[in-house]
Structure 1
Amino acid sequence: MIRVGTAGWTLPRTEQEHFPATGTHLQRYAGRFSAAEINSSFYRPHRPSTYARWAESVPDGFLFSIKLPKTITHGQRLRDADALLDGFLAEAGGLGDRLGCLLVQLPPSLEFDGAVAEPFFSALRARSSFAVACEPRHPAWFGDEAADLLARFQVARVAADPARVPAAAEPGGWPDLVYYRLHGSPRIYYSAYEPPYLDALAARLRVEAAAGRQVWCIFDNTASGAAAADALGLAARLESLQQQVSHGGHGEHGGTAEGVSIPPP
């Protein structure tokens, strides 16, 4: 399955007609999408009962990705974070089997240091078998040493837009998980994506999924409400490609994922 969703589950007024008419915002959102990213966990803790309520609001098969707290990534900067990890994972456990992925977003100033990264991801892996995606933002994280370390701990490197360095636009680390985070460009958090970009993205995600990888695509351009429209547009394109394949058409590109070009927005 290719999981498409947004950061949070806000339903902009302009897109309301595309969602079920009744229920909470999360229930209506989950009527159209298969995943959502919880970003509020980055800023503040939530009770396990809050996570449990969210889990009860979504149908079978729906999964949440949840962002690690900034106290771990930005405060401790991955050092001496065992107690904080324990607290966070105990809270997030309220999601039960709806917890699908942990997201580790690093500050732009945090350089790669294997002596720091290795014990952190080792501690995380000792506590959790969930899928993990890491979004580093310092150029030092895009070399072979960092990629090898992430792969060893089964941590995917996020493919991000806008990309701070060219390699940041491509998935990396553990290859069995592909996680796109699209923040909007040229104006980050605001800009919508153009149809040609969504066309190429849909084709790329199909190739990744056909290779047997877990695939997530989260739109984070939420400030102007563009995320919901972009996610709906991508989901429609993926459905169209699937229908073409089901009817004997050629709904996906041949070759490897690397051969599918996603043009800049």
Structure 2
Amino acid sequence: MDKPVLTKEERKAKREARRQKQRENNVLRASKMHKLRLTADATAPTKKQAAKTTTYHIGCSGWFYWHWRNAFYPEGLATKDWFAHYAKAFKTVEINASFYSWPTEATVKTWLKQAGRKKFVYTVKACELITHTKKFKGTKELVKDFGYIATILGDRMGCFLYQAPPSYHYSPARLKTIVSQLQNGQRNVIEFRHASWWNEKVYKALKEADLIFCSCSAPRLPDELVKTADDIYIRFHGKKAWYRHDYTQDELSEWAERIKNAKAKTIWIYFNNDFGGNAISNAKALVCLLKIKP
């Protein structure tokens, strides 16, 4: 029997119901991870390790995209083998699913298992419960609880990415709130989606707190590299269109020069322009421009 065809409004309502269920589950999952953190032997957060030489981590924002089938993943390759194929090309990935759904302990252990013995590092996007629902207000414990992921991942842990909402404009009070919530000794990155945050007061506060400002290549945001810590972090969303832009060689060359001139100890770069597999080809092209050995 054929499934009934839903109207646009019905699809939207179904999607919103699913998202609301996710938000409710996030509270429950956060509570479970809180208990895990408190009962674990290693209760202290995993501290970030300073790099002795310049280290590059370049990959994509996510790796499981159906539209990468036959574009990046060979025809006939089972989905269970997609990560292994991705890990042959890149040694890091930015987990975005964790924004919508707070990861369980079992999920994080699955990340460990699928990496196997490969030299592979995960960057994890913080759950929207912290950044969008509570907007960093009274989230110190939640930040610590989400940070327990680093305890599980150990040396496979990269950064925690905290993305603020586009409607979240700069104010001194909001800046103070963010800094007070995220100072926990881990490698924390803040991505702003409103141009008002590109200002010297923000840079100064983040430098003093050793927090990483996320530089963005995205429509209507300043196209520049900002360094507030020993590490730099860049997300490529698309210069002219979100998620769809295919970066030219000249555009990537310009960023390569910025990256070299920043003289950072550790560089984290993730391409989020997944449409048409652009993220894959652009990430590989930047690796070549930076002359990074595989």
Q: 1:249 maps to which residue?
A: none
> After superposition, where does 1:83-98 map in structure 2 within 5 Å?
83-91=141-149, 93-98=151-156
Q: d(CA) in 1 for partners of 2:225 and 2:104? A: 32
Asked if the contact 1:49/1:94 (under 8 Å) is kept, the reply is no
Q: 1:137 maps to which residue?
A: 193
Q: 2:231 maps to which residue?
A: 177
Q: 2:269 maps to which residue?
A: 217
Asked if the contact 1:219/1:230 (under 8 Å) is kept, the reply is yes
SS in structure 2 opposite 1:24?
A: helix
Q: d(CA) in 1 for partners of 2:220 and 2:209? A: 24
Asked if the contact 2:166/2:192 (under 8 Å) is kept, the reply is yes
Asked if the contact 2:272/2:279 (under 8 Å) is kept, the reply is yes
1:35 to partner: Cα distance:
1.4
Asked if the contact 1:179/1:215 (under 8 Å) is kept, the reply is yes
> After superposition, where does 1:28-107 map in structure 2 within 5 Å?
28-58=85-115, 59-91=117-149, 93-107=151-165
Q: d(CA) in 2 for partners of 1:9 and 1:78? A: 28
Q: d(CA) in 1 for partners of 2:240 and 2:264? A: 32
Pick closer, same or farther for the CA change 1:145–1:235 going to 2, 3 Å: same
Q: 2:22 maps to which residue?
A: none
Pick closer, same or farther for the CA change 1:207–1:34 going to 2, 3 Å: farther
Higher relative contact order (CA 8 A, sep 6+): 2
Q: 1:237 maps to which residue?
A: 289
Runs of 4+ off more than 3 Å: 20-23
TM-score (norm 2): 0.71
Q: d(CA) in 1 for partners of 2:266 and 2:138? A: 30
SS in structure 2 opposite 1:145?
A: helix
Any stretches of 5+ residues in structure 2 without a counterpart? Answer: 1-54
| Residue deviations 1:48-96 (CA, integer Å, cap 9, x gap) | 2211221232245421111111111111111111232233223454322
Q: Does 1:120 align with 2:120?
A: no
Q: Does 1:206 align with 2:260?
A: yes
Q: d(CA) in 1 for partners of 2:79 and 2:251? A: 32
Structure number, greater radius of gyration: 2
Identity of aligned residues (%): 27
Asked if the contact 2:219/2:239 (under 8 Å) is kept, the reply is no
Aligned residues: 234
Q: d(CA) in 1 for partners of 2:264 and 2:143? A: 30
